[in-house]
């Protein structure tokens, strides 16, 4: 395209701006159409080409812009907060501050109240002015956020003390538990897990130790209550409990979530690198099996056979598993101890002593009971070592 326009009496004739003419004669014709005398007196030497330099520069700018646009990558960050996931669409040229703003739009948690747990740059929390491209986030990066909405904070101040527990569970299902535990279909599923699931050992098993398998959510950590920091959601005495248990037990963490998430939570709680105890390994939802219950449909459970098949030194005689949901024990009903769930962390932080009491129970049964099959964990609070020694 050649762009020309005419200049009449020293002024640019707007009607004659004819970017689509390619010859001077066309230009004359076009100008004549304006029926302006000045234009009819158009002389060739009054015709000036559009500043070629300007056009070139504009095109160059356009091209540069197109290239830059092509270089900008769209990214989706999935924000995990309060038990839900919120996908946030951004460009990699956006800053952390923009990210916070977008999170606010989705969650109503103000940017200054957001704690972005795993958004790190050079080992430190990413500053607000940092571009997301500099964080080198992996596709579908999941960002763990802790923070409270203004409404949550108001509610927390007015909640009553004795909130009833609503738990998705089957407390009265012992017979059903037995039939599930012995079902060939489910035992075959366990064997498939044994074959396919890859356990990454963090610390080796120790000779002569028993096995303690722990759930995370509501057992060690309240993952849904409002809080300013992750440690506010940690169950009281967690580290004391783990340190005490480690004396007699190898410890496994098993949570019905993804491995990345388990690792993040354990890091956040200071469990993964604690010098007073070690975790043998983590198991995630992929190590669970699904079981069909006529009344409840399909549920996922945690079969201890996955561990026992790979580590022959452990069995129902020396293994105990804590979870706040009894159905997770369906394959091993006698090995499970249903812990009181730790919820409403902001209200219960100062009074929850469950882990202290359970520390005593674990020590007592380790010292006084040679076969855990003989125990009834439903009555753990009434356990008398003298009767079992
Ligand atoms: Mg749980």
pLDDT digits (tens, 9 = 90+) for 66-111: 555 556 677 889 999 888 899 888 878 888 988 998 898 788 888 8
One domain, residues 11 and 116: no
Ligand 1: distance of its center to the CA of 322 in Å? 9
Distance CA 175, CA 155 (A): 41
pLDDT of residue 22: 36
Distance CA 155, CA 98 (A): 28
Ligand 1: distance of its center to the CA of 276 in Å? 24
Question: Does residue 322 surpass a pLDDT of 80?
Answer: yes
Ligand 1: distance of its center to the CA of 119 in Å? 25
Ligand 1: distance of its center to the CA of 302 in Å? 11
One domain, residues 195 and 48: no
Among positive and negative, which fits the CA dihedral 121, 125, 127, 131?
A: positive
Ligand 1: distance of its center to the CA of 38 in Å? 87
The β-bridge relationship of strands 297-301 and 124-125 is unpaired
In a domain, 160, yes or no: no
Ligand 1: distance of its center to the CA of 338 in Å? 10
One domain, residues 217 and 190: yes
* Residue 124 binned pLDDT confidence (cut-offs 50, 70, 90): confident
Query: What's the average model confidence in pLDDT over 189-193?
Result: 86
Which CATH number belongs to the domain containing residue 280 in this structure? 3.40.50.1000
Ligand 1: distance of its center to the CA of 252 in Å? 14
In this predicted model, which residue has the larger pLDDT, 352 or 386? Answer: 352
Asked which of 4-8, 181-185, 206-210, 271-275 is least confident by mean pLDDT, the reply is 4-8
Ligand 1: distance of its center to the CA of 341 in Å? 7
Q: What are the angstrom distances between the C-alpha of 274 and each of 241, 267, 278?
A: 12, 9, 7
Q: Domain tally for the chain?
A: 3
Query: What's the average model confidence in pLDDT over 224-237?
Result: 82
Ligand 1: distance of its center to the CA of 86 in Å? 22
In this predicted model, which residue has the larger pLDDT, 45 or 220? Answer: 220
Question: Does residue 255 surpass a pLDDT of 50?
Answer: yes
Distance CA 36, CA 24 (A): 17
One domain, residues 136 and 253: no
Ligand 1: distance of its center to the CA of 216 in Å? 6
One domain, residues 48 and 83: no
* Residue 178 binned pLDDT confidence (cut-offs 50, 70, 90): low
Ligand 1: distance of its center to the CA of 43 in Å? 88
Is residue 274 within 8 Å of 253, Cβ to Cβ?
no
Boundary (domain end) residue, out of 126, 155, 184: 155
Ligand 1: distance of its center to the CA of 77 in Å? 26
In a domain, 67, yes or no: no
pLDDT of residue 53: 63
Ligand 1: distance of its center to the CA of 354 in Å? 15
3-state secondary structure of 31: helix
Ligand 1: distance of its center to the CA of 222 in Å? 9
Residue by residue, DSSP assigns 295-332 as TTEEEEE--THHHHHH-TT--TTTEEEEES-GGGGTT-
pLDDT of residue 252: 98
* Residue 360 binned pLDDT confidence (cut-offs 50, 70, 90): very high
Question: Does residue 277 surpass a pLDDT of 80?
Answer: yes
In a domain, 162, yes or no: no
Is residue 150 within 8 Å of 335, Cβ to Cβ?
no
Among positive and negative, which fits the CA dihedral 329, 333, 334, 340?
A: positive
> Residue 380: CB partners within 8 Å, gap ≥ 6?
337, 358, 361
User: pLDDT tens digits for 9-19?
Assistant: 444 444 444 33
One domain, residues 226 and 130: no
One domain, residues 150 and 270: no
The 8 Å CB, 24+ separation contacts for 381-388 are 381/357
What's the domain range around 322? 174-388
Ligand 1: distance of its center to the CA of 323 in Å? 6
Which CATH number belongs to the domain containing residue 135 in this structure? 3.10.20.90
Q: What percent of the chain has pLDDT over 70?
A: 72
Question: Does residue 205 surpass a pLDDT of 70?
Answer: yes
3-state secondary structure of 12: strand
Q: What are the angstrom distances between the C-alpha of 124 and each of 117, 129, 131?
A: 10, 14, 15
Question: Does residue 172 surpass a pLDDT of 50?
Answer: no
pLDDT of residue 245: 98
Element (H, E) at 355: helix 354-368
Ligand 1: distance of its center to the CA of 118 in Å? 22
pLDDT of residue 17: 41
In a domain, 34, yes or no: yes
Among positive and negative, which fits the CA dihedral 203, 208, 210, 211?
A: positive
Ligand 1: distance of its center to the CA of 378 in Å? 17
Neighbours of ion ligand 1 (CB under 5 A): 215, 217-218, 324
One domain, residues 47 and 105: no
One domain, residues 348 and 312: yes
One domain, residues 186 and 149: no
pLDDT of residue 66: 52
Ligand 1: distance of its center to the CA of 91 in Å? 36
Output the average pLDDT for the chain.
79
One domain, residues 145 and 213: no
Question: Does residue 355 surpass a pLDDT of 80?
Answer: yes
């Amino acid at each position: 395209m050649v762009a020309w326009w005419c200049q009449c009496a020293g002024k640019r004739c707007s009607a004659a701006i004819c970017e689509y003419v390619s010859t001077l004669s066309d230009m004359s014709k076009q100008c004549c159409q304006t029926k302006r005398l000045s234009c009819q007196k158009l002389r060739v030497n009054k015709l000036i080409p559009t500043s070629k330099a300007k056009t070139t520069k504009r095109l160059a700018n356009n091209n540069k812009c197109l290239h830059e646009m092509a270089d900008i990558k769209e990214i989706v960050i999935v924000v995990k907060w309060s038990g839900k996931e919120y996908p946030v669409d951004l460009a990699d040229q956006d800053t952390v501050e923009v990210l916070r703003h977008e999170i606010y739009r989705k969650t109503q948690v103000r940017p200054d109240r957001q704690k972005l747990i795993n958004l790190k740059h050079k080992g430190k929390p990413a500053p607000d002015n940092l571009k997301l491209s500099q964080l080198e986030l992996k596709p579908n990066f999941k960002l763990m956020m802790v923070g409270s909405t203004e409404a949550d904070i108001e509610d927390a101040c007015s909640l009553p003390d004795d909130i009833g527990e609503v738990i998705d569970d089957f407390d009265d299902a012992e017979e059903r538990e037995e039939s599930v535990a012995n079902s060939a279909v489910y035992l075959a599923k366990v064997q498939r897990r044994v074959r396919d699931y890859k356990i990454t050992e963090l610390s080796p098993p120790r000779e002569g130790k028993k096995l303690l398998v722990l759930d995370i959510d509501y057992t060690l950590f309240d993952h849904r209550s409002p809080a300013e920091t992750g440690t506010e959601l940690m169950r009281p005495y967690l580290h004391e409990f783990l340190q005490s248990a480690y004396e007699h037990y190898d410890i496994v963490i098993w949570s019905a979530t993804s491995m990345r998430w388990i690792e993040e939570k354990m890091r956040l709680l200071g469990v993964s690198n604690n010098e007073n105890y070690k975790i043998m390994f983590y198991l995630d939802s992929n190590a669970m099996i699904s079981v069909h219950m006529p009344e409840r449909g399909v549920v996922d459970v945690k079969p201890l056979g996955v561990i026992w098949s790979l580590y022959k030194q452990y069995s129902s005689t020396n293994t105990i598993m804590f979870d706040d949901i009894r159905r997770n024990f369906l394959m091993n009903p006698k090995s499970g101890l249903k812990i009181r769930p730790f919820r409403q962390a902001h209200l219960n932080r100062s009074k929850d002593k469950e882990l202290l009491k359970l520390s005593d129970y674990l020590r007592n049964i380790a010292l006084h009971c040679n076969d855990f099959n003989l125990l009834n964990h439903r009555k753990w609070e009434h356990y008398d070592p003298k009767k079992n020694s």
